[in-house]
Structures are given as structure tokens and as C-alpha cells.
Amino acid sequence: MWESIILAFRDRIYLLFAAAALLLSVVIFYLFRQLTTKNESIWLAPIFTPIHFYVIVVFAINFILSLVSHKRDKFLSLAFNFTTLAVDVLLITAMILNLTNSNG
């Protein structure tokens, strides 16, 4: 397992995806906190409450899985980080659309 972690941190593409996933997760967490404390919106609905934890948990789980799988399958390792990025991009797009929507 330690060999996999060492190999992962030597791979620049892996580090790029992991850093982008971490950065986007932090941005979403910050934006969501600002959005829910600033004004009343659809994001205060109980169904969206777990997003705070979801963003961090998804990043943590995918990052750990990508580290473990890096030695055996580099593509799978990058896929875990790409999944985190895709989820984060969808969430941030939904938040931006909600902020720019004049009806909601």
C-alpha cells in the first residue's frame, strides 16, 4: 500500500487531478456556507443539508480509493478523482444557476 501512495505522489497528472478535486471541494463547501447563511433560498431545504458533509466525504473517499488503486490501475485511480471533479462541477453549476435565477 505504501508503494502505491509513493507512486501516486510522483505522478504529476494524478496530483493535478487530486489538487483540482480538493480545491473545488473547498470552494463548494465555502460557497454553500455563504449561500445558506446569506439569504433564504432553495438550498435551505432539508434535502440539501447533507451537501456540506457530502462534498468533503466524497472527496475523502475518492482520494483514499485513488491512492490505494494507483499502483494496480492508474486509469481507475484518475477516474476516482475525475468523479469527484464531475460531482463538484455539477454542484457549483447548480449553485450559480440558483444565484442568477431571478425567479428563485
Indicate whether 102 pLDDT > 60: no
Per-residue pLDDT, 56: 72
Rounded to the nearest integer, the mean pLDDT of the chain is 71
pLDDT tens digits for range 43-61: 556 666 566 667 777 777 8
Torsion from C-alpha of 89, 95, 98, 101, nearest 10 degrees: -60
Between the alpha carbon of residue 92 and those of residues 10, 38, 46, 50, 81, the distances in Å are: 30, 17, 19, 15, 17
For the four alpha carbons of 88, 93, 94 and 99, in that order, the dihedral sign comes to: positive
Per-residue pLDDT, 30: 75
pLDDT band at 74 (very low <50, low <70, confident <90, very high): confident
**Listed residue (31, 34, 29, 81) closest to 60, CA to CA:** 81
pLDDT band at 77 (very low <50, low <70, confident <90, very high): confident
pLDDT band at 37 (very low <50, low <70, confident <90, very high): low
Please give the residue range of the domain that contains residue 68: 2-100
The Cα–Cα gap between 11 and 6 comes to 9
Number of structural domains the chain divides into: 1
The Cα–Cα gap between 84 and 64 comes to 12
